[in-house]
A and B are shown apart, each in its own frame.
Chain A
Amino acid sequence: AQTVTQSQPEMSVQEAETVTLSCTYDTSESDYYLFWYKQPPSRQMILVIRQEAYKQQNATENRFSVNFQKAAKSFSLKISDSQLGDAAMYFCAYRRSWGGSQGNLIFGKGTKLSVKP
C-alpha cells in the first residue's frame, strides 16, 4: 500500500523569506501523481501544485516549486517570497496514475505553516 509521510508537523517562516516543506512517500508503482494541497482555516482544500512522476522537470507555479526526487521518493515544496496569505495547513498527496476506482488521494498528516510579519 502507498503511504505519504510529512515529518514536519509545524513550520514557521518570516514574511518575504523562503521555506521548504518536506514529504516522502512509498510506492512500488512507477507512474503516479504527487500533489501539494493548501488548507486555510476556511477548510477549503486548494490545489497548489502537481507533479507527474514520469516528468523529470520539477513543477513550478509562480512562487511555489517542488523538488521531486523519484529515486529517493521525496517531494518537497518550496515557497518563495512567503506572504501572510500562505499561512495554512499543507498536505502532500499521492495518486495512482491510472485512476478509476483506485484514483483516490492518499494524504500525509500535514504541515502547519505560520508566516510571521
Chain B
Amino acid sequence: GAGVSQSPSNKVTEKGKDVELRCDPISGHTALYWYRQSLGQGLEFLIYFQGNSAPDKSGLPSDRFSAERTGGSVSTLTIQRTQQEDSAVYLCASSFSGRAYEQYFGPGTRLTVT
C-alpha cells in the first residue's frame, strides 16, 4: 500500500517568508509525528497528533512553528517568518494505534532558508 507522503520534496525560501509543509500519513494510522533533522541538532521531535486529541506541542522550538491535522489525516507544519536556522529536513511519521511503536516515515521535505 501507499506509504507516508510529504510535499514538497524540497523548498527554498527567503528569510522572513512563511512556509507550509504537508504530510499525508498511511491510511488508517491515527498517530502522526513531525521531526526535524539538522546537521547541528540531529533528529528532534517537534509535535505529535493522536486522533482528534489535542496535539503534544512540547517539541516545537518557537512560537513561529505551528501544525494542524485536518480530519485526523493530512497534517500541515507551518513555519512563520523563517530564519536560516530553520534550514533542515522535516520528517513526518505515522503509526497505527494498535502498533504504536512502529513509526513509518515519509521521505521528508528539505527546507533551505536563504
Q: Does chain A bind chain B?
A: yes
Instruction: Point out residues on A near B: beta carbons under 8 Å.
Output: 33, 37, 42-47, 50, 91, 95, 97, 99-110
Decide if A43 touches B89 in the complex (CB within 8 Å). Answer: yes
A-B CB contact pairs (8 Å), 5 listed: A43-B110, A99-B101, A104-B56, A105-B33, A109-B42
Neighbour of A43 across the interface among B50, B103, B108, CB < 8 A: B108
- Cβ contacts under 8 Å, A102 to chain B: 56
Instruction: Write the B1-30 contact mask toward A (1 if CB under 8 angstroms, else 0).
Output: 000000000000000000000000000000
Compute how far the CA of A65 lies from the CA of B49 in the bound complex, rounded to whole angstroms. Answer: 32
Are B50 and A45 closer than 8 Å at their CB atoms?
no
What residues make up the interface of B, taking CB atoms closer than 8 Å to A?
A: 31, 33, 35, 42-43, 45, 48, 50, 56, 58-59, 89, 91, 93, 95, 100-108, 110
Q: How far, in angstroms, from A100 to B7 measured CA to CA in the complex?
A: 26
Smallest Cβ-Cβ distance to A42: which chain B residue: B107
Q: Given that A104-B59, A105-B45, A107-B42 are known contacts, is A43 also in contact with B107, CB under 8 Å in the complex? A: yes
User: 9 tightest A-B contacts by CB?
Assistant: A45-B105, A107-B43, A104-B45, A101-B56, A99-B100, A43-B108, A33-B101, A109-B42, A44-B107
Tell whether A101 pairs with B50 under 8 Å between CB atoms, given A107-B42, A109-B42, A110-B42. Answer: yes
Contacting pair B101 A50 (CB below 8 A): yes
Determine if A103 and B48 form an interchain contact, defined as CB atoms under 8 angstroms apart.
yes
Beyond the given A46-B105, A95-B101, A106-B45, could you list 5 further A-B residue pairs with CB under 8 A, ordered by the A residue number?
A: A43-B91, A47-B104, A104-B48, A105-B93, A105-B103
Task: Find out whether the CB atom of B43 lies under 8 angstroms from the CB atom of A91.
Answer: yes
How far apart sit A62 and B24, CA to CA, in the bound complex (Å)?
Answer: 31
- In the complex, what residues of B have CB within 8 A of residue A104's CB? 33, 35, 45, 48, 56, 59
